[in-house]
A and B are shown apart, each in its own frame.
Chain A
């Protein structure tokens, strides 16, 4: 079946611009996660959705970052007034969520590589 998909695969923008990154989770997965991976580092948690609601957004670095999942499926990560330090790979993952129990496996998408010039 189809895995997690993310668009665009690459995004180059200028400092100060606004960007939107999209994630399509695996069909039937109620949980969705955003992570950010900088060069040479492991992914860092940003936000977790269970259904439509953001159950934990403690990883968002500041108020320039915002994410939505209005219908409990597709999610959009929005970054305002981008800075050079926002350059990274933004990874989305999905899982069964509450039905998955303690061994709920997160499946990752291919990521969006964001470059802020």
Chain B
């Protein structure tokens, strides 16, 4: 079983839609959590950190449920430019990032 599991998608949604991704992680000792975005043939870039209290950055909202060991990302009012792969990331130590395989999002006009 992978340490971080995500639905690979693709999620194909129209512009303006709301879309949500979930991921689960297996190590209850995990300390910090992130969503990274990766465009095709580009490097991963930090989208946002995820906190137990939930956090919002514009159209993006991230939630962490430690008891159930899952992390979510909600994107409201999807834009064409949101099309990318979204990587769920867990940090077991102060430095080692464990990535999920990513969820692919396609936003169509």
Contacts and interface: CB of A to CB of B under 8 A. Distances in A.
A102 B92 CA distance: 11
Interface of B: 4, 8, 31-32, 42-46, 49, 87, 89, 94-102
B49 A45 contact: no
Contact of A105 (B46, B94, B99, B101): B46
Nearest to A42: B99
B97 A45 contact: yes
Interface residues of A, number: 26
A44 interface: yes
A108 B45 contact: yes
Contacts of A56: 95-96
Question: Most chain-A CB neighbours within 10 Å: which of B43, B89, B97?
Answer: B43
Contacts of B102: 41-42
Contacts of A55: 95
A109 B46 contact: no
A58 B32 CA distance: 20
Contacts of A105: 46
30 contacts: A35-B97, A40-B8, A40-B101, A41-B101, A42-B4, A42-B87, A42-B89, A42-B99, A42-B101, A42-B102, A43-B97, A45-B97, A45-B98, A48-B95, A48-B96, A50-B95, A56-B95, A91-B43, A95-B95, A102-B32, A102-B94, A103-B32, A104-B94, A104-B95, A106-B97, A108-B43, A108-B45, A109-B43, A110-B43, A111-B43
